[in-house]
Structure 1
């Protein structure tokens, strides 16, 4: 019979594997982390089933898209065969904006709706929380002027990340949860309902 301590260790390992296998392009093992029936991923640039996220991520990886993830503190609430895992993280993306190479660092949390499937924890829904970000020019001698109108389209938590990804041709979703606010509150309410036995992990759409 698994204990809460064992479950929490396995949930932490699940999140660690996600970051390592995704960033290393280990797509076969990466696919095993998602719930086979309901896996759903939300990001600034993608919202949809895990299988589609894997395919698009793999295509980008093969084409040189540089997005890396780094993890920090972690906690998990476990009720039976369900859990909510939260993990401090940063998203690092390198790309060109108007011909100038830049690094974006976005800091926040992974908020994961998890379920036990055939004895192993799987991610049912991942919703990042975007707390703050910044843009750094890679070459200190280069100069870059940002379009304030485009920059202002995105919440402060992922303003520069959204700017870069829009310039790169992605359609970036607005209104994603940040450090505070109604969207974050609604996500936490969905998490509480998930632990209480709700039929679905909130409304990721």
Structure 2
């Protein structure tokens, strides 16, 4: 197969390898949302790093906080769409269309937030297995819906507009739940996404690390 990222560089990837990469991406969503934490750990390499609106850190820590939230009833679901990847020897960068859905109460009103974008994954083939080394979501747009359409909700416009348009409603409810949300994550355009694309190219070229791993020190 031939796949091409925004880097403009075509790569001929073996169908079998691309299928294995896609399985890792799909397993991530199924196992995480089902709370199958042992299986979920298997999609990562030991140095795997996760970035989300509300979390930045090693995948083991991400499992711990995800499990704690799952057991408290926090409802976050992931849905996957189109997929493409570029493979260079034992390295891969995958992009997968996705939606994140979260249900929560904000200001006493139950809401559903849907965020659309892409998972941008740095992967490597080690000891016969593909695994994620870094996951960086790209947040393109989101919306908030009232679970009960007859209810009334007024959001604080200063808080809402303090976050990028790609995930401002998601950030709003997560901040309301007590999470410290980063305000400069990549979206469809801008310096953050251009940097991510550059890091993906460097990863395929053999960089020692999958880009700049940032932890939100406010957490």
SS, match of residue 133 in structure 2: strand
Distance 2:165 2:213 in 1: 21
> How many pairs align?
202
1:108-163 alpha-carbon deviations (Å, 9 max, x no partner):
00000000121110000000000000000000110000100000110000000000
SS in 2 for 1:51: helix
2:156 is aligned with 1:147: yes
> Which residue pairs with 2:168 in the alignment?
159
Aligned to 1:204: 213
Q: TM-score, normalization: structure 1?
A: 0.98
Secondary structure, aligned partner of 1:176? coil
Pairing partner for 2:199 from 162, 165, 190: 190
Q: What is the match of residue 8 of structure 2?
A: none
How far 1:47 sits from its partner (Å)? 0.2
C-alpha distance in 1 between matches for 2:72 and 2:182: 23
Matched residue, 1:5: 15
Equivalent residue of 1:192, what SS?
helix
1:204 Cα deviation from its structure 2 partner: 2.0
Kindly report structure 1 stretches of 4+ aligned residues shifted beyond 6 Å: none
Indicate the RMSD between aligned Cα atoms, in angstroms. 0.6
Matched with 2:138 is: 129
Q: TM-score, normalised by structure 2?
A: 0.91
Q: Which runs of 5+ in 1 are unaligned?
A: none
Does residue 116 of structure 2 align to residue 107 of structure 1? yes
Stretches of structure 2 that go unaligned for 5 or more consecutive residues are 1-12, 215-219
In structure 2, how many angstroms separate the alpha carbons of the residues matched to 1:202 and 1:67?
A: 27
